[in-house]
Structure formats: structure tokens, C-alpha cells
Chains A and B, each alone.
Chain A
Amino acid sequence: MTLLDLQGVAKIYKIGGQEIRALDGIDLQIGEGEFVAIIGPSGSGKSTLMHLIGCLDTPDEGSIIVCGNDISSASSNGLARVRNREIGFVFQSFNLLPRFDVVDNIALPMAYAGVGARERRERAEALARKVGLEERLANRPSQLSGGQCQRVAIARALANDPKILLGDEPTGNLDSKTGDAILAMFRELHAAGKTVVIVTHDPEIAAVCDRVIEIKDGRIRRDYLSPESVR
């Protein structure tokens, strides 16, 4: 089943009267259960593509369908709903709320989904255990290491049990050993049935993914199955 369906997507920025086509005619399908890396140099448009896939933005041309929701015509509230239920974000800089402890950070997406307080807490604690942070429930992000922070972020991304996990350079702020651990965690989640999309500029990370999509100058240059995954 196709979770992400992009048809002729373009995103155009106007800077000082000059049109810049950050994305230009992207056609892309990602099916359920895939493990995809989107790579490209900075300025290639991969961030813009991630924002569109992540429903943070809408395209200027073309159509995007995320888990059956037509994003190109969705309202701001509709986008928020898809972000909340269908997508789990994992950012390079973790993006945890500094004044919230681990449990509250994990529980936050459930609050916006209207989950009751007790269930929120129970599910958040279960997720914290799942990512190996059962000892750190009451700690704040400033009391955690980078790897632990990213694990909190992953747990938060899983809070509303979304179909798609969207990683934006998830290992960019981590040393290689912790980065590997985080990637392993993504692998595990993929094995458990999640569709994973990782946006990165690092070919080494791309190499561990099943499918690699290379973006350059707003277009898809290559779309291939990673040699490692072809066994």
C-alpha cells in the first residue's frame, strides 16, 4: 500500500522578484513498510521535501497524499491532524521541551490528540521503557546525554502510533557510536512495521537503508535500492 504519493510536486520561493524552484516536478511513491533515505547536498531541496512529506508545508504545484490525506488541499488544522496522528518526527537537534521531564515530553503529542491524562502517562512510561529510559522518567532534557535525548524524541514520535517515522538528520548531533545505536533503533522499528524515511546528507547512513532517493537541484536524480538490502 502506498503511504506517500507525490505527483508533480513543486515548491517555489520568491526572493526579491526572483523565482527559485526549490522543488521541481517530484514524482515519488513510498509504500508501507519501506525504509527510505532521502539524500542530497545542502540546497538540493531535501529539507523542503521533508517539510512537505511531514505536512509542515503545502506544495505550490502538484499533489501530495499522505496516508490517504490529500495535503495539497488540506487546511492548517487538517495538516496538524496528520502531523499528530500519522507522522512521528525525529529532529537533528532533538527539539524537546526543556522545562518538561521525559514522560511529559513523550506524552505531548497525545495531549494534542485528546488522550486522557492517566492513559497519557501510562503510555508515555511504556514508551520510555521501550527506548530504554525507564531510569530517567523524571529527568529533564538538560540532564540527559545526546543519545538519551534522541531516544526520548523517538519515543515521542511513537506516541500516537503513527505509520511514518520521519527522521531529519537524526544522527547529525551524535557521535558515531551513539548514532549507530539510534540507527539500530530505527531498524528495529522498521522491523516492527513502521515506515521510516530518513533525510540526510550522509551517504554512510543512506547505505544502511533499503531504498535511497537522491535529490539534486529540486529534482530526483536517482532512486535505487541500496546494494546491502538486495540480498
Chain B
Amino acid sequence: MSFFLAVEISLREIFAHKFRSFLSMLGIVLGVSSLVATMGLTAGIEKGTKAILQQIGGLERVQVRPKAVETEEVDFWMISPGRTLTDAKAIRESVPSVTHISPELRNWTPVTAGGEEKGYNVNGVFPDYSFINSHSLAAGRFISDLDIANANRVVVIGNQIAETLFPSASPESILGKTVLLQRIPYEVVGVFSLYEREQDKVRRERGVKSARPARAGKNRWDPFRQKNESVLTPFSTMFYDFKSGANSQHTQETVPLEQLAFRVGDLDFFRESIDQVRAVLDVTHRGVDDFDFDTREDMFSQMESSMRATRISGGLIAGISLLVGGIGITNIMLASISQRVREIGIRRAIGARASDIFVQILIESVAIALIGGALGVCAGIFLMQVLIWVAPGENMPVLTMQSVALSVAFAFLAGVFSGIYPAFKAAALDPITALRYE
């Protein structure tokens, strides 16, 4: 018997008992929809976390951080200059795979534009800073090499700072205005875009922003808060205005950095690049092991493992409902066969082989499972839409083709496994007994 005919017969059988078939599909529908939904959910979380990671500099960003030296090295510790501009220049010259490098000075500085003074961390930076930290400008320009060379008193501010200093002013209108950093006048040359998470953006666009600070306050973790509150000056200007007084021996090259970050150009050579940087810094630090590297790999692998846990638990729930659904199908198929013993006998008498009967019952069970699977995918998508509507955000569930394919594959398997026993039973019926069955 041809495959298509078997499918046609199965579908006819399924639609002849719509309610019964629907009931037997229900387990599969639930299983598949929860599978689609959980996979969409984890994919969404993954996407969201990756997006945030990207916006705070991506996986390629590495920070050099100071490290307490070993006890036996304490005597040598003084001979290391620590992280300095010399480090940055040495890395730039010796490690070609490092594409960007950003040494930073930082000073807690009162900032005002005529109103109340408020303290912020002001950073003295190089042009690479903007790229390494994935900044984008809403208006104006970033700090340039010329600013560094001339130690210009210019400042680039984050959107939050702009809002605080110049309430309700457009970014363009702020350009050229004067900001006082510890009463020294600086000219605003650039304003960054507002960085926000997807959920905050949606909230803001829906106009419920006012409700949020009252509920969550500033304690709520916002990965972009630091970026939105940046106040950036040229490295040299920061040195001359705020750092040179503390120790008259210090030059721009030897002043201790508050931050040293770099970006590796090719992630495939990430480890090698780090090793090269370590070798360079060993020289500039005169062999003292007083530095280490902070990479985002740890964060990334942590994210991966938590994602895996979510996926496994979701998969487990879906697996159990698929199992239950499969048992449901087995049950209904067995009932259906005992109602159709006579029919099976007739089919055998007019020339159906046992394998024809087997295939027919199996196809019927798989068809039920696949229809259930299709309904489940629809239900899962619907569920995800509800979730998106209820809780918009960076972690919005995303529908992936893999999740749909996987769910349908699982439904198919459930159909096959739940059909095997009934199909076997039907095929093993003795034609004569089956024909006489009343």
C-alpha cells in the first residue's frame, strides 16, 4: 500500500473522531508548546545578555587590573611603576593583535553647569576609549588626538549627566556650553546617546517611566548607569588639571592609571594575545607580578551555564509532558484498535500484509502526534507573544527555527514510540479471529 494512501486513511480516521483525537493530542500539544516556549525564553535571555555584553564592550574587552604581589616579592614591589601610560604605549607597539588600548585616569570631581555642584567620577581618556566601551554620540564629537596633544579643556558627557546639568535641553543645544569641573571651565564637545535596556526603552515609550524609580529606585542594577553618567576629558588635560599636583615626580608617562583596558582584534587568538600582553607588561613592570587580566570569559561561561540549567529544566518539563502525551496516544490507539478489530480482519482478508496494518496504525499515531505538535507550536508561539506583551524587555523570547524543528522532531518521536505497541498489537491479530470479531 502506498504511503500517501496510508496517510489519507489515517487522517480520515483522525477526523472521524475529532474530539477523541483532540484529547489524545492534548499531551503532545502541552509538551510541544512548553518546549517551544522555554526554548524561546532561553534564546531570548541569551540574546538579551549578549546584547548587554556587547554594549558594555563585548567579549574582546580586557582590563588590566592590579594584583597584590606574593609575600616573597613584597621587597621588589616598589620597583614596579604599576599601570602607567608606558604600559599602554608598549602594548600598542609590541602586540599587533591588540587593536585598541585605553589608559584612563579618574578623579572624583564636583561638576556643575551653574546649578548645584555634584560629585562624579571624571575620566581622562584617549580616543580609543569610545570604541572599547561601545559609545555612540548623540551630538558633537569625541575627544581627539589634537585634544590630547593640546590638553584642551573639553568634555564629553553621558546622557544622564546632560539631563542633570541641562534639564530638558537637546543634545545639540548643549554643545559649546561650559561645564565647571572643580570650578575649571570645560567646553562640552560631545553628548553620548542614551543607553538603556530594551525593557526600559519600551517602558519609557509607553510613558510609564515615572512609575519605575518609585518602585525600583536606584538600587536596581542598570548595566548602563556608568556609561550614562560618564564625564570624559582628554587624558593630558586630566593629568595637568587634577593629577600633576599630588606628586611632582609624576609625568603623564609615570602617573598611575586608574584603568587600563584593551581590545583584542581577533577572538580566535584571544589567549595568545593576552600572553603577549603579559610578556610586554612583565618588562614594563620590571618583572614584578603585580597585574592580572579581567576578561569577560568568566561572565560569559557563567551565563552559559545558567542558560544550560534553564534549558535543561525546561526540557525536562517538556519531556515529561511529551511522555505523558505519548502514553495518551498509546492509550487512545489501543482503544481505537479494539474498536477496529473487524476492520483489520477485513483488510487482512482482502490482501493487507501484517506490515501494512503495522504501518497504518503507526502512521495514524505519528499523524496525531504531528498535528498535536503543530498545534503545540502555535500554542507556544501564542504563549511567547503573551509573555512579550506582558513583560517586554531585552530578554524577550525569540522564536528560532531550531526550537520549532526540535519540538516537531520530539513530537514525531513521541508519535512513533507511542504507536509501536498498538501497531504491533494490531498487526499480530489473527485474520480469522479478527474477521469473526463482533
Contact = CB atoms under 8 A, between A and B. Distances in A.
Nearest to A76: B354
Given A51-B432, A111-B1, A111-B5, A97 B343 contact: yes
Contacts of B435: 56, 91, 95
Interface in A75-93: 76-77, 80-81, 83-85, 89, 91
A159 B345 CA distance: 18
Contacts of B345: 95
Contacts of B342: 95
B401 interface: no
B326 interface: no
B353 A76 contact: yes
B356 A112 contact: yes
B351 A99 contact: no
A127 B347 CA distance: 19
Contact of B350 (A57, A77, A83, A117): A83
A114 B352 CA distance: 11
Nearest to B427: A76
Contacts of B432: 51, 56-57
Given A51-B432, A95-B435, A97-B343, A113 B351 contact: yes
Contacts of A91: 349, 435
Contacts of B353: 76-77, 80-81, 112
Interface majority SS (helix, strand, loop, mixed), chain B: helix
Contacts of A95: 342, 345-346, 349, 435
Nearest to B353: A80
B343 A112 contact: no
Nearest to B6: A111
A156 interface: yes
A114 B1 contact: yes
A45 interface: no
Contacts of B2: 111, 114, 117
B3 to A, nearest CB: 11
B351 A83 contact: yes
A56 B350 contact: no
Contacts of A81: 351, 353
B127 to A, nearest CB: 74
B431 interface: yes
B211 interface: no
B431 A84 contact: no
Interface string A26-55: 000000000000000000000000010010
Contact of A89 (B13, B350, B355): B350
A109 B350 CA distance: 6
A159 B350 CA distance: 10
Contacts of A114: 1-2
Contacts of A182: none
B89 interface: no
Interface residues of B, number: 24
A19 B435 CA distance: 24
Nearest to B355: A77
A108 interface: yes
B12 interface: yes
B12 A99 contact: yes
Given A57-B432, A97-B343, A99-B16, A156 B350 contact: yes
A84 B5 contact: no
Contacts of A54: 349
Contacts of A160: 351
B346 A97 contact: yes
A84 B351 contact: yes
B431 A108 contact: no
B61 interface: no
B19 to A, nearest CB: 16
Interface string A185-200: 0000000000000000
B348 interface: yes
Interface in B342-371: 342-343, 345-356
For B1, B346, B354, the residue with the greatest tally of chain A CB atoms inside 10 Å of its CB is B346
A109 B351 contact: yes
A180 to B, nearest CB: 26
Nearest to B356: A112
B5 A80 contact: no
B5 A56 contact: no
Given A51-B432, A57-B432, A108 B354 contact: no
A80 B352 contact: yes
A89 B349 contact: yes
Contacts of A84: 350-352
Contact of B349 (A83, A99, A159): A83
Nearest to A84: B351
A51 B349 CA distance: 10
For A81, A85, A112, the residue with the greatest tally of chain B CB atoms inside 10 Å of its CB is A112
10 contacts: A56-B431, A77-B355, A80-B351, A81-B353, A83-B349, A83-B351, A89-B349, A95-B346, A109-B351, A117-B4
Rank and list the top 4 A-B pairs by shortest CB-CB distance, nearest first.
A84-B351, A80-B353, A112-B351, A109-B350
Interface of A: 51, 54, 56-57, 76-77, 80-81, 83-85, 89, 91, 95-97, 99, 108-109, 111-114, 117, 156, 159-160
Given A97-B343, A117-B5, 8 more contacts: A54-B349, A56-B431, A56-B435, A81-B353, A95-B342, A95-B349, A112-B352, A113-B351
Interface of B: 1-2, 4-5, 12-13, 16, 342-343, 345-356, 431-432, 435
